[in-house]
């Protein structure tokens, strides 16, 4: 067993524990946590004095291992450019667990990630949730598949139709290709079900449609990439035609457009904020949560704001929102993730290092962030 003692423990629930103790059992799971815990005499002791002890962070969307760190063609398996429709691509066949990014992520406290194909294709393939410690993907999988990647707008349009030679050339074609595959998969699923009752109706195997069966049968969701508001509205139209598109991240910055999307969405469809600064106002309109940057540094406080807003306690949620107003802009003034990394560095979590061509924040921005943290009584 392992006993971690002397650090500031930040549990997911409950108050912080100064100079606390955390016991990890032989099964690798937390056995006890508190100011003091009962630990066996032969437990390995790790002195965490002056350190923060947190649960492992989870990256809900990335391309780690499939678009390798510092590699070029030989390490880039993010997009299969031979066709805009490749639902049969499996992320687990393209991930290199020896990618340097795994080591860097673990050093930064990220222990679990959801990774998969990029956004070049209308249908890109399946994502996997995995632990980042290991040498064999099969031993690292938490759940597979977890989602099917789809993309709208300029990414597939630009990758294939830029010279007007290959579909999709337009946004119309992007939507048409997705609809076509979903309609075919829906029919394929019905034929498979019919063949179970009557073997004479067995139809030929189709690799692409087979890959879409978990989507049609609601075993996994479609994970949609969309930049522009009109692409999000296209996703909403398809969500009405098929009940497998369940949510969209909105970060256009146009509150009027966001309000229109929320007002016109199907009842079971969710809108999630992709911009910390507008999360609170967007939730008053009907959004259900946020994919956050500032939440990396203040998970408890920012998630509390979201929960308060969901509960309708807008006064309390507004107070938390206003406490972060200056940080919302400072974190992005020199680009993301430079601002967030500089803040986490001040708080003692990570080193302030970025991979080229990204660079750290300017000194003036760094000091402005430090001053805001000081005003928030955050030790840095």
- 184 shares a domain with 45: no
Q: Are residues 120 and 78 in the same domain?
A: yes
**In this predicted structure, what is the pLDDT of residue 71?**
67
pLDDT of the residue at 163: 67
Final residue belonging to a domain, choices 235, 254, 281: 235
The tally of domains found in the chain comes to 2
- Asked whether residue 363 is assigned to any structural domain, the reply reads no
In a domain, 98, yes or no: yes
Tokens of 230: 């009109």
Tell me what pLDDT residue 260 has: 84
368 domain-assigned = no
Cβ proximity of 120 and 225 under 8 Å: no
138 and 205 fall within a common domain:
yes
Q: Which of 72-76, 223-227, 303-307, 333-337 has the lowest mean pLDDT?
A: 72-76
Residue 78 sits in a domain whose CATH number is 3.20.20.140
Of the candidates 273, 303, 304, the one whose C-alpha atom is nearest the C-alpha of residue 291 is: 273
Find all residues with CB under 8 Å of 378, minimum gap 6, and list them.
347
Q: What is the pLDDT of residue 353?
A: 85
- Determine the length of the chain: 380
Q: How far apart are CA 376 and CA 323, in angstroms?
A: 8
Residues 18 and 66 grouped into a single domain = no
Q: What is the pLDDT of residue 162?
A: 78
* 112, part of any domain: yes
Given a cut of 70, is residue 9 above it in pLDDT?
A: yes
Domain at 43, CATH number: 2.30.40.10
For residues 159 and 113, state if they share a domain.
Answer: yes
Q: Which H/E stretch holds residue 284?
A: helix 276-285
Q: For the chain, what is the largest distance between any 2 Cα atoms, rounded to a whole number of angstroms?
A: 74
Is 265's pLDDT higher than 80?
Answer: yes
Residue 152 domain flag: yes
Quote the domain boundaries for residue 206. 56-235
Q: Does residue 205 lie within any of the structural domains?
A: yes
Both 193 and 113 in a single domain? Answer: yes
Q: Which of 204, 235, 266 is the last residue of a domain?
A: 235
Considering the domain architecture, whether residues 108 and 220 belong to the same structural domain is answered as yes
> Per-residue pLDDT averaged across 289-297, rounded?
88
241 inside domain: no
Residue ending a domain, choose from 53, 69, 87: 53
Burial 178-214 (b: 16+ CB within 10 A, else e): bbebbeebbebbeebeeeeeeeeeeeeeeebbebbbb
Looking at every residue in the chain, the average pLDDT score rounds to: 89
Instruction: Measure the CA–CA gap between 345 and 44, rounded to whole angstroms.
Output: 28
């Amino acid at each position: 067993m392992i006993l971690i003692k002397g650090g500031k423990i930040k549990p997911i629930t409950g108050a912080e524990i100064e100079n606390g103790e955390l016991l990890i059992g032989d099964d690798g799971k937390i056995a006890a946590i508190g100011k003091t815990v009962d630990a066996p005499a032969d437990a390995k002791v790790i002195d965490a004095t002056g350190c923060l002890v947190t649960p492992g962070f989870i990256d809900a969307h990335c391309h780690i291992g499939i678009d390798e760190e510092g590699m070029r063609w030989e390490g880039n398996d993010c997009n299969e450019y031979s066709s805009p429709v490749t639902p049969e691509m499996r992320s687990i066949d393209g991930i290199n667990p020896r990618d340097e990014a795994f080591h860097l992520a673990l050093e930064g406290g990220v222990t679990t990630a959801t990774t998969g194909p990029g956004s070049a294709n209308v249908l890109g393939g399946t994502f996997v949730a995995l632990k980042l410690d290991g040498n064999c993907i099969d031993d690292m999988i938490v759940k597979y598949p977890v989602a099917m990647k789809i993309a709208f707008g300029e990414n597939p349009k630009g990758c294939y139709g830029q010279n007007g030679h290959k579909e999709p050339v337009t946004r119309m074609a992007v939507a048409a290709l997705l609809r076509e595959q979903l309609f075919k998969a829906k029919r394929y699923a019905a034929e498979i079900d019919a063949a179970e009752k009557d073997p004479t109706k067995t139809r030929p195997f189709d690799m692409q449609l087979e890959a879409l069966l978990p989507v049609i049968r609601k075993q996994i969701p479609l994970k949609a990439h969309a930049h522009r508001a009109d692409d999000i509205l296209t996703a909403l139209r398809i969500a009405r035609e098929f009940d497998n598109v369940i949510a969209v991240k909105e970060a256009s910055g146009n509150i009027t457009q966001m309000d229109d999307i929320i007002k016109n969405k199907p009842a079971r469809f969710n809108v999630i904020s992709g911009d910390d600064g507008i999360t609170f106002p967007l939730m008053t309109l009907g959004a259900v949560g946020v994919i956050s940057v500032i939440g990396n540094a203040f998970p408890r406080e920012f998630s509390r704001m979201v929960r308060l807003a969901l509960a309708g306690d807008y006064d309390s949620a507004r107070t938390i929102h206003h406490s972060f107003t200056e940080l919302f802009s400072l974190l992005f003034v020199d680009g993301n993730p430079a601002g967030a990394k500089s803040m986490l560095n001040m708080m003692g979590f990570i080193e302030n290092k970025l991979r080229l061509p990204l660079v750290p924040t300017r000194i003036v921005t760094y000091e402005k962030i430090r001053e805001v943290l000081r005003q928030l009584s955050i030790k840095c």
